[in-house]
Amino acid sequence: MSVTRSKGSISSTQKSSSRSVSSSSKASEKPQVDTDDIDENDESGQNIILNIISQLKPGCDLTRITLPTFILEKKSMLERITNQLQFPDVLLQAREEADEMQRFIKVIAWYLAGWHIAPKAVKKPLNPVLGEYFTAYWDLPNKQQAFYVSEQTSHHPPESGYFYMIPESHIRVDGVTIPKSKFLGNSSAAMMVGLTVLTFLDIKDKHGKPEKYTLSQPNIYARGILFGKMRVELGDHMIIKGPTYQIDIEFKTKGFISGTYDAIEGTIKDKNGKEYYEISGKWNDVMYIKDLKTKGAKKQVLFDTNKNKPTKPKVRPLDEQGDYESRKLWKKVTDALAVRDHEVATDEKFKIENYQRELAKKRVEDGVEFYPKLFRKAEPGEDLDWYIYKHISDTATPEEQIRSILEIAPILPGQKFTERFTIPAYKKHEIQQKELNESSK
């Protein structure tokens, strides 16, 4: 395999403004309680859940059921996806690794790193409404920037498309999250059908194609809905495939009598089944790797969730956001959840969802189909159901790639919406493809 890289560094395109707060005002502020860490599974809450469950049968779909607000997290699923992107340093290390096996190991570490980021209490992210979108960015320690764009492309089933890129390090991530909820008796499950595609654009194979990894997701279980203490478990399998190596990581759920919580286990193999390394540990604690080729080799730390701090995304101020951007759309709901006013949270959530039902009804009456603004449907042979509409050339300079990304939607503070933003994604894609074809003649 030949590895080619292009160099170049540009300064951050834009920096967010900072606000100064005097030390005296800080001292007078009361520490705010994070309600996402409060387990509100009290008697009244249990009664609400029991009332809902009385209408259900094991195995039925929960996506059409309205859940009580006290189990809702103060963020949309579109923002929750960014939990997986909060260790960019590990991803940057992977891309810098010259050895293919060691690069694959670091990709595994990066993908496993973010699953522990979640509320301490059992909380479910808000279900995005059709057409809702969320953008964010990161100012990285290496003076580069990372960009994120996501949109709810479908409501039944609920599909969220997302795009992430660090142009100056030639890293791109595309993905679709499809949580299919089921009621299982004393548990509910989110069966994660989606897929993530990671590409190192400047690492090429002998055919000149960029190095690509596909990564699936473990399923998520909320235990103890009817009796016992509520807690979240990740379960089943996560499969990561690279050009040469692959791994099937099992997320073990605790049995009724034996076993332990949160354990993982998997073996790195090549496509002929030859084993190289073993992964073990706990996804929310310390994860280990052991060399199977070296006799007597001891386990080494792959990733320690206790010692690595997430890098949270940055978001434009609310007054610059559109009505369908996640934080602005759900602000009244999340503000009410923050003070545990579940009556207001329920009312505000109902208003948003009822308006969506009215829009859906009108589309049916008018014979109009909904089209996302930022993501297009996949073409034959592509890995995902949805991709960002904008063609971003692998061979373009980082400056050109950043310019293209910032044309998709406002991401950085100070960016303005353009008239082109409201055009459906498939039309914008067609326009760009036509422009590219004409320029190549």
| Average pLDDT score over residue span 147-163 | 95
Whether the CB-CB separation of 92 and 263 falls below 8 Å is answered with no
Assigned domain for 26 exists: no
Assigned domain for 44 exists: no
pLDDT confidence of 62, banded at 50, 70, 90?
low
Assigned domain for 15 exists: no
Assigned domain for 14 exists: no
pLDDT confidence of 9, banded at 50, 70, 90?
very low
| CATH code assigned at 392 | 2.40.160.120
Q: By C-alpha distance, which of 153, 220, 222, 164 is closest to 192?
A: 220
Give the integer Cα–Cα distance in Å for 69 and 337: 8
Assigned domain for 39 exists: no
pTM of the full structure: 0.88
Residues with Cβ within 8 Å of 46's Cβ and at least 6 positions away in sequence, in order, are none
DSSP characters over 50-117 = HHHHTT--TT-B-TTSPPPGGGEEEEEHHHHGGGGGS-HHHHHHHHH--SHHHHHHHHHHHHHHTTT-
Look up the domain containing 240 and give its range. Answer: 57-439
Assigned domain for 353 exists: yes
Give how many domains the chain has, as a whole number: 1
Q: Which residue has the higher pLDDT, 96 or 437?
A: 96
Assigned domain for 73 exists: yes
Q: Read off the pLDDT of residues 421-440 as tens digits, 9 standing for 90 and up.
A: 999 999 999 999 998 888 77
Assigned domain for 417 exists: yes
